[in-house]
Amino acid sequence: MELYEMSLEELKQLRKDVEKAIDSFEARQLAEARVKLESHAAEMGVRLEDVLANMSKGKSKPQGAPKFRDPKDPTKTWTGRGRRPEWFNQAIDSGMLEEELKI
């Protein structure tokens, strides 16, 4: 392909075609991977959808044991991980110590 021999219109069309190919590259790769994975799963006598469904079961992180309890409502607890619950912040702001909230 001789770029310097192409007209302006041909160059613009080529640029559009290249941009379209780039934009669809990932989708094409994923489609190709899916075909290969479905084929391999079929060789093993299973469906890819069943494999994927089975993989997603039980993947949630286990909840940690509660370490803190709301003094006003004992049903509210916090593991000490992640964002502090509002009741915890309010208790600290009211003058309680973190140690006092421990279970």
pTM over 0.85: no
CA distance 10 to 71: 74
Residues 50 and 80 in one domain: no
Residues 45 and 73 in one domain: no
Give the lowest-confidence range in 16-25, 30-39, 61-70, 91-100.
61-70
My answer on whether 52 and 12 are in the same domain is: yes
Give 91's pLDDT tier (boundaries 50, 70, 90): very high
Stated length of the chain: 103
pLDDT band at 53 (very low <50, low <70, confident <90, very high): confident
Q: How far apart are CA 91 and CA 70, in angstroms?
A: 8
Whether 8 maps to a domain, the answer reads: yes
Q: How many domains does the chain have?
A: 2
Of 53 and 29, which is predicted with more confidence?
Answer: 29
